[in-house]
Amino acid sequence: MSFRLAHLSDPHIGPLPKPALRDLMGKRLTGYMNWQRRAHIHNMDVLHAIVADMQAQKPDHIAMTGDIVNLGMAAEFTLAKTWLESLGPEHHVSFVPGNHDAYMNESMSWLAEVFSPWTRSDSLPNTGYPYLRQRDELAIIGLSSAIPTAPFLASGHLGAEQCAALAELLDQAKAQGQARIILIHHPPYRKGATIGRGLRDSDQFAKIIARHGAELILHGHNHRTMTAYLPGPDGLVPIIGAGSASAVPGTPKHHALYNLYEITRSERRWTIKASSRGLMPGTDQIGALGPIKID
C-alpha cells in the first residue's frame, strides 16, 4: 500500500469582513487591532497558488489543521466553508479547528455547524471529537484543542473525555493493522509553543502516546515547519507541524507552504517520507522546498 497525504494549516482566510461595533467586544477588539497590523502577512493569491499546486500532486487525502478564520465572526465562517469546499469533496478532506476558529464562546456553535461535513466519523456516531476516518489502511483521528481563551492567550485543551476516547481509537486502529495519523492544531508536547499558546494537557497526551502509540501526529499553530517526537511503545512517534499556507513575504522559517507524506507498508512496518512544497524564497513561485527528515 502507498498513500499520499497532504497537510496544510493556518490559512487565515481574508479579507476580513468588516466588523460591526457589537462584534468588537472583549477579545475581538484586541484581535482586530492585531489583525490590522498583520493582515498583509496572509496573501490570498499565494494561498490560491498553494492549493492549486497541492491539488496537482493528486493527494489521496488532505488534512487541514485549523485557523481558517481570524476573529470567529459569523461572516468569516461563510468564507471558510466556501474555501474548504474548494479543496475537494468532504470525504477527501479532514479538518480540525484552531484557536482562531474558536475565538469567542459564540463562535463555537458556528464552528460545530459549518465544519461538521469535514469532521464526521465514517461509522461512529457524529458526536464531535475525536473523530475517526478510515482511508485505505490509514486511520485518521481528528482532535479538537480549540477553546475560547482570554485576550492575549491562544492556548488549547483536549480534556479527559477526549483523551480517553483517543486512547480507545488508537488501540482499535492498531488491532486492525492501520497506520494511525492524529490531527491536532496545537503542538501536543511541552515547549511546542510559547507560554500562553501551548496545549494545556500536553503531558496527558504524551502519556497516551507512550502507552498506545501512533504512526504520525500532524499540527499547525506556529506558522512554521517543526519536527519533534514523543516516545511510543514501539519507538519514537514523529510530530510534524506545517507552516501557514498563506504567509508572505516569508522568512527561512515562516513562509507559505504545505507538507506531503508518502505512507507505505513494507510487510508489517510502516514507512513515512515527508517533504514540503511552497513559496520559493525570493520569488512568487510554488515549488519543492525539500525533504523533512524523520528519524
Going by C-beta distance under 8 Å and a sequence separation of 6 or more, which residues neighbour residue 95? 64, 65, 66, 84, 115, 118, 119, 142
Overall pTM > 0.75:
yes
CATH number of domain containing 84: 3.60.21.10
Average pLDDT over the chain, rounded to whole?
Answer: 93
Helical H segments across the chain, by residue range: 27-38, 44-56, 74-87, 107-114, 160-175, 202-212
Q: How confident is the model at residue 35 (pLDDT cuts 50, 70, 90)?
A: confident
List the domain range (segments joined by +) for residue 134: 2-292
Residues 52-89 as b/e (b if ≥16 CB within 10 A, e otherwise) read: ebbeeeebebbbbbbbbbbbbbebbbebbbebbeebbe
What's the domain count of the chain?
Answer: 1
Q: Which residue has the higher pLDDT, 282 or 241?
A: 241
DSSP state of 160: H
Structural Rg of the chain based on CA atoms: 18
Contact 112, 65 (CB under 8 A): no
Which pLDDT score, from 0 to 100, does residue 127 have? 67
DSSP state of 146: -
Q: How confident is the model at residue 1 (pLDDT cuts 50, 70, 90)?
A: confident
Q: How confident is the model at residue 273 (pLDDT cuts 50, 70, 90)?
A: very high
Which pLDDT score, from 0 to 100, does residue 124 have? 65
Could you tell me the CA-to-CA distances from 262 to 50, 190, 209, 292 in Å, in that order? 19, 27, 22, 12
- Look at the block and give the residue holding cell 456553535: 109
Going by C-beta distance under 8 Å and a sequence separation of 6 or more, which residues neighbour residue 18? none
* pLDDT above 90 as % of the chain: 82
Contact 229, 216 (CB under 8 A): no
* 3-state secondary structure at position 230: strand
DSSP state of 19: P
Give the other-Cβ count within 10 Å of 201's Cβ.
19
The three cell numbers of residue 278 are 511552497
Q: What is the pLDDT of residues 5-29, one digit of tens each?
A: 999 999 999 998 888 877 787 889 8
Which pLDDT score, from 0 to 100, does residue 168 have? 97
Which pLDDT score, from 0 to 100, does residue 295 have? 81
DSSP state of 164: H
Q: What is the pLDDT of residues 240-261, one digit of tens each?
A: 999 999 999 766 677 899 999 9
Contact 66, 143 (CB under 8 A): no
Beta strands in the chain (DSSP E): 2-8, 61-64, 93-95, 131-135, 138-142, 179-183, 216-219, 226-232, 235-241, 257-266, 269-279, 286-292
| Residue 139 clears pLDDT 90, i.e. is over it | yes
